[in-house]
Structure 1
Amino acid sequence: MSKRPAVQPALHKVIMVGSGGVGKSALTLQFMYDEFVEDYEPTKADSYRKKILLDGEEVQIDILDTAGQEDYAAIRDNYFRSGEGFLCIFSITEDESFQATQEFREQILRVKNDDNIPFLLVGNKSDLDEKRKVTFQEAQDRANKWGVPYVETSAKTRENVDKVFYDLMREIRARKKDENKTSNGRGKDKNKKKKLKCVIL
């Protein structure tokens, strides 16, 4: 009976960003429920939560699938602020959606004020290779420039769907461990950091 106080599994908050129609919801629903939904018309942001095993450790993933309201900067900034990691998705069949990732990246960095945030660049719809408009190399170059991983997925065939969520959670987890180390052993440094931040503002 002594095992009563169950430790809550760690919660990792993932935000899906990207232009409309690139498959954010399709990827989310495929990951959550193992089903492919082709014509999902999102009208509002949806939040999903699921318990999974991450390298043998039970964790919870909280996925915010943004939609529609990205036009309202305040709402968008709130979403970004709450996220611990980001899947930035474009469609390999649509160059415009690839160009838009630049803006999403900039918005996230501005809100987070941190350029080391857990972040994956994801080229979705890899099953439509014959309609490809964005080359693998082009996307890889952008990811290299940003210092982030690039992965191609297909919500339809499920290719790399789990991979992108798990890889991102591993980054979030590593990031949290680093932060805990920093905040545990160095009480004084923390105050210094805060002061510095005020000066920058």
Structure 2
Amino acid sequence: MATVSPLAKYKLVFLGDQSVGKTSIITRFISDGSIAALVIRSLPPTHSFLNNVALDNSGILQGRKDLGGLIPSYIRDSSVAVIAYDVASEYQPTQWVEEVRTERGSDIITVLVGNKTDLVDKRQVSIEEGDSNAKEFEVMFIETSAKAGFNIKPLFRKIATALPGM
């Protein structure tokens, strides 16, 4: 009788200022469809499979500053920190990178994600600037558009291949 290995479980935390698209990235990945008609308060437990990794999400912590006290515990319990920013707004990833480093040091996979690349005419952060910041912080980097579905699956593939045993 063949035994089936259980899938490895990893916890991801999505960080970033309010309205940068954290929930939209997750929703786009889970539903793989248009997010325009969805109204989200929290997502029910959902399993999506990618490279033998099960993503189990029982809720989304919204990017509100009044929830800041909860953020360190989410970081401490995570294997991956995804730091999202809006390419159409000025941003400072330093605060989020420092918070991750304070809680986990370099013992966590960290990805800097420039979202909303569909807002071409409003872009304020170049891809070169995002890449330069990622190199400075020694983290992975990718740009996405949750609205258009651009680079959402590649983001999660990048994360999956960086996880131990993948």
TM exceeding 0.5: yes
> Which shows bigger deviation, 71-80 or 141-150?
71-80
Give the structure, 1 or 2, with the largest relative contact order (CA under 8 Å, sep 6 or more): 2
For residue 65 of structure 1, report the CA deviation from its aligned partner.
3.5
Question: Equivalent pairs: percent with the same residue?
Answer: 23
Aligned to 1:61: 55
The correspondence for 1:106, drawn from 98, 121, 142, is 98
Deviations 1:100-144 (A, max 9, x none): x211111111111x2242011000011111110111111111101
Task: Mark the runs of 5 or more structure 1 residues left unpaired by the alignment.
Answer: 178-201
Over the aligned positions, Cα root-mean-square deviation in angstroms equals 2.3
Q: Which has the higher helix share?
A: 1
Aligned to 1:140: 131
Task: Mark the runs of 5 or more structure 2 residues left unpaired by the alignment.
Answer: none
For residue 172 of structure 1, report the CA deviation from its aligned partner.
2.2
Distance 1:75 1:41 in 2: 23
The answer to whether the 8 Å contact 2:50/2:160 transfers is no
Q: Give yes or no for the alignment of 1:71 onto 2:69.
A: no
Aligned to 2:147: 156
For residue 43 of structure 1, report the CA deviation from its aligned partner.
5.4
User: For 1:142, what is the secondary structure of its paired residue?
Assistant: helix
Deviations 1:74-114 (A, max 9, x none): 3111111111001110000011xx21x211111111111x2
Q: Give yes or no for the alignment of 1:52 onto 2:46.
A: no
For residue 34 of structure 1, report the CA deviation from its aligned partner.
1.1
Q: Give yes or no for the alignment of 1:83 onto 2:74.
A: no
Deviations 1:137-183 (A, max 9, x none): 11111101011122110111111101111211221225xx8xxxxxx
Length, aligned pairs only: 165
For residue 62 of structure 1, report the CA deviation from its aligned partner.
3.3
